[in-house]
Amino acid sequence: MPLQPRDRLIVALDVSSVAEAQVLVARLGDTVSFYKIGYQLAYAGGLAYVATLVGTGKRVFLDLKLHDIGHTVAQGVKSVAKSGASFLTVHGYPQTMKAAAEAREGNLRILAVTVLTSYNDADLAAAGYDAGVAELVIERAAQARNIGIDGVVCSAEEAVKIRGIVGSELALVTPGIRPAGAAIGDQKRVMTPASAIAAGSDYLVVGRPIIAAADPKAAAEAIVAEISSVKG
């Protein structure tokens, strides 16, 4: 079944408490059906909040970027599967991806992070990588496909090339989404919602342009409308 525009928007609950998250979720109402919980909220009670969101019919993406020895990753994945979350991120290293893929249970889908959208070629070089962003993203996406990962997290800038490699097998989840005129912040590889969808992204992760807006619901509705405007 094709994804509906509303279901393709994932709002990042990048707030410091469950109370703040509850207020934001209430303000967004039925406009948003999918939420991401990352480090900021996860370490402030957000892991327990997953069950609450799921219980009200929302989907949850736990952005924990697991990366450790295989056994530890596998046990973490099994624990997350019990939470009711739909998506979980792991870093895109073959050993980590393999352990996560083998340990997933129920409806949990594993997403591999290719290269963070706050990185560019210079950042990778400073971290000791010989490859540039484009090359490393493609390599990790191909590895994810071969290992059996459910999807990858990538910049929309790389979506077209990745789609050519993985076809429709993997979901492409893209952060770094900025409506026209929005501040880029610490992101370096960004794209508008419509452009990202046209490039092949399945899900768009949006945080600050919505949660920092004077009217978060209106901001979310505008992004859903922009997603809806893309044909095909």
Cβ burial 150-185 (10 Å sphere, 16+ → b, else e): bbbbbbbbbbebbbebbeeebbbbbbbbbbeebeee
Q: How far apart are CA 196 and CA 39, in angstroms?
A: 25
Which residues have CB under 8 Å from 76's CB, separation 6+?
64, 66, 68
The answer to whether 67 touches 95, Cβ cutoff 8 Å, is no
Distance of alpha carbon 20 from alpha carbon 175, whole angstroms? 22
Residue type, 173: V
Concerning whether 65 is annotated as a catalytic residue, the answer is: yes
Looking at the DSSP assignment, which residues form a beta bridge with residue 87?
61, 109
Among the listed residues 65, 78, 98, 231, the single catalytic one is 65
Catalytic annotation, residues:
65
